[in-house]
Structure 1
Amino acid sequence: FSQNGFTAVRFCEMNENFNHQHQDLRTENNIKYGDLPEFMDFEYLRKNTCSNLATLANLAWSPKAPTSVGIEVKELSNSSTLRWSSPDGKAQNGYQILMRETSSSHWEKTFFTKDTQIEIPYSKDNYFFAVQTVDALGHASLPVFPIPIR
């Protein structure tokens, strides 16, 4: 979906129990297989549904992601310059640049700009970057990783 221009996200269970997921209902060797109500944690489902709904609502309200996102790699430098183009559609307030160390799984720092280019005093060798479009209400698009610009 996202490759065809739709805002999209996939929700999945990271700790799948294959006795209950992707199984036909049956009992073998005293083991019940299949997705049965007795194996459901309804409080977890409630919390997860609320989280998913909030995420989906934010994505639905968010502007389109920036296009042509790139990072300059033509020179050796301890700073990083990112460039992008404004998306068509809903008016945006600006752009949020996300940054994290290459060893981190979470975004650690953000920068905000109204321009379509920014120079950040951090090396592209040590950090991952992404750019999001942000509207006037603070809704952010899906982040876009930059491609190298030579």
Structure 2
Amino acid sequence: MVSTLKVSKGDVPPNFNLKDQDGKTVSLSKFKGKPIVVYFYPADETPGCTKEACAFRDSYEKFKKAGAEVVGISGDDPSSHKAFAKKYRLPFTLLSDDGNKVRKEWGVPSDLFGTLPGRQTYVIDKKGVIQLVYNNQFQPEKHVDETLKLLQSI
């Protein structure tokens, strides 16, 4: 199987500057020095994405304990993110990837049929190096278990 991944384990991913749910610009480089979980998801308010976001929310304290930050990224605009975060009381940052530029730069694959942007999670260590790339389109909650397992080991 040929992988089209641009960003893989052991890589330093390209930096980004994206707007958060409050319209503030956030760059990846601001997180250097602490582990970060960056998860790309298809869209706010879809069943799988809501499950995934709520699973990250419910385990957020565990991520904090591991010293990690959690950031969700989709193509939705900041106002959509703000409503989504408010409705589900999401304690972490959601970033707006306008035109899916960062998704393309990182090489996040589409879903099986190429109709939806893919669901992929990255764990980046405090040096800025990717330690895990996890892709599971159909079991969104698994992303949380896998990332926590890895964070507790680094």
* TM class by smaller structure: under 0.3
**Higher relative contact order, chain-length normalized (CA < 8 Å, sep 6+):** 2
Q: TM-score, normalised by structure 1?
A: 0.26
Q: TM-score, normalised by structure 2?
A: 0.26
The structure that has the greater radius of gyration is 1
Specify which structure has the higher proportion of strand: 1
